[in-house]
A and B are shown apart, each in its own frame.
Chain A
Amino acid sequence: MSMLQIFDVSGSAASAQSQRLNTVASNLANADTVAGPDGSAYKARQVVFQTTLMGEVGAAGVRVSNVVEDNTPGRRVHDPKHPGADAQGYVTYSNVNPIEEMVNMISASRSYQNNIEVMNTAKSLLLKTLQMGQ
C-alpha cells in the first residue's frame, strides 16, 4: 500500500527538520558564549541530511547522517576587564553567526510545514479511500 508509506517518508523528513531546528536553537542559545579556561568556545553545529530508502525505490525518506561542527575561529574581542579574558586581554566568543542561524531556522520551519501538509493530504485521501463504494 503505497499511500501508507507517505507517512513514513514525510514523518522521517519532519523529524529530520525538527532535529535541524534543534541545532539552530542550541546554536542561537550559545551565540554569546565565551571561551572557558581551556580557550575553546562553543562551535556552531550543523546537521547533514541523507536520503534513506523506506522499503522501496519510490519511497525516499530522510535521516540525519551526521552533525558537524564549524571549525572557523571564534570572534575575538579585546576586553581586559572581562573575567574570561586571556593573557593578552582578548575574549574568545563562539563562532555562531546569528543571521545564518535565523535563515536556517526559517528554511527548516518551512520544510517542516511542507511535510505536514503532505501528510494531511495523504490522510484525507486515505480516509476517502476507506469510504470507497459507499
Chain B
Amino acid sequence: MIQAFDFQAQALVLRAERQRLIASNIANADTPGYQARDMDFAKALREATGAMPIAGAMATTAVGHMAPTSGARDQAELLYASHSQDSVDRNTVDLERERHSAADNAVKYEATLRFINSSVRNMLDAMKSPNQG
C-alpha cells in the first residue's frame, strides 16, 4: 500500500513538471525562434519509479559502487516536440496541441490526486479501531 502511495507521488510530481512545460510552450507561442519542449511521460515515470535504469546513469559493476537513486528527477529528460507546420519565425509551438495537452494533463493530475486521497482514506480507515464506527 505504501508502495502504491509512493508511485502516485512520483506520478504527481511528473504531472506538475509536464504542466509547467506546457505552460512555458503556451507562454512562448509568439516568441520568434522558440522550440516547443515536451517529455516522454511514460519513460520518465518508469525511470522515476526505478522500473527502468535512468538514461545516462553509470552502471554499478563492483561492490563499492553506489547505485543512482531513483525518484522523480528535478529535470526530466526534455525532448523537442515535433512541429506540424513550419513558420517563418522558426517557432515550433502548435497551440492546438498544447491546449489539448494542457487539458489532458490537468485531468490526469487531478486523477492522480484522487488516487492519493483514496489511499489516504483507506489507510485511515484501516487504522481506526472497530469500536469507533
Q: Tell me the A residues contacting B by CB distance below 8 Å.
A: 1-3, 5-6, 9-10, 12-13, 17, 20, 48-51, 56-62, 107-108, 111, 114-115, 118, 121-122, 125, 128-129, 132-134
Q: Which residues of A contact B27 (CB under 8 A)?
A: 9-10, 12-13, 60-62, 115, 118
New contact pairs (8) apart from A3-B20, A6-B20, CB-CB < 8 Å: A9-B23, A51-B34, A114-B26, A114-B95, A121-B103, A132-B116, A133-B117, A133-B120
A-B contact count (CB 8 A): 99
Cβ contacts under 8 Å, B113 to chain A: 128-129, 132
Question: B74 to chain A: which residues have CB within 8 Å?
Answer: 56
Establish whether residues A125 and B110, one from each chain, have CB atoms under 8 Å apart when the complex forms: yes
A49 — nearest CB in chain B belongs to which residue? B31
Residues in B whose Cβ lies below 8 Å from that of A121: 19, 102-103, 106
Q: Which residues of A contact B106 (CB under 8 A)?
A: 121, 125
Nearest B-chain residue to A56, judged by Cβ: B75
**Neighbour of A6 across the interface among B23, B32, B116, CB < 8 A:** B23
Chain B at the A interface: SS class: helix
Q: What is the bound-complex CA distance between A49 and B95, given in angstroms?
A: 17
Tell me whether A111 and B29 are in contact (CB under 8 A).
Answer: yes
In the complex, the answer to whether A57 meets B78 with C-beta atoms within 8 Å is: yes
- Asked if residues B109 and A60 are in contact (CB atoms below 8 Å), the reply is no
B26–A13 CB distance below 8 A: yes
List chain B residues, Cβ under 8 A from A125.
19, 106, 109-110
The answer to whether A49 and B102 touch (CB under 8 A), given A2-B17, A132-B116, is no
Give bound CA distance, A20 to B32, whole Å: 14
Q: Contact residue range for chain B? A: 35 or more
Measured CA separation A121–B106 after assembly (Å): 7
Chain A, Cβ-Cβ closest to B37: A58
Q: How far is the CB of A54 from chain B (nearest CB, A)?
A: 8
The distance in angstroms between the C-alpha atoms of A122 and B105, with both chains bound, is 11
Instruction: For the complex formed, measure the closest distance between the CB of A14 and the CB atoms of chain B, giving whole angstroms.
Output: 8
Contact residue among A51, A58, A115 (Cβ-Cβ distance under 8 Å from B20): A58
Known: A10-B23, A125-B19. A58 touches B31 (CB 8 A): no
Could you jot down 26 A-B contacts, CB within 8 Å?
A2-B19, A5-B20, A6-B19, A6-B23, A10-B26, A10-B27, A49-B31, A49-B32, A56-B74, A58-B17, A58-B20, A59-B23, A60-B27, A60-B34, A60-B37, A107-B30, A108-B30, A111-B29, A118-B27, A121-B102, A122-B19, A128-B113, A129-B113, A132-B117, A132-B120, A133-B117
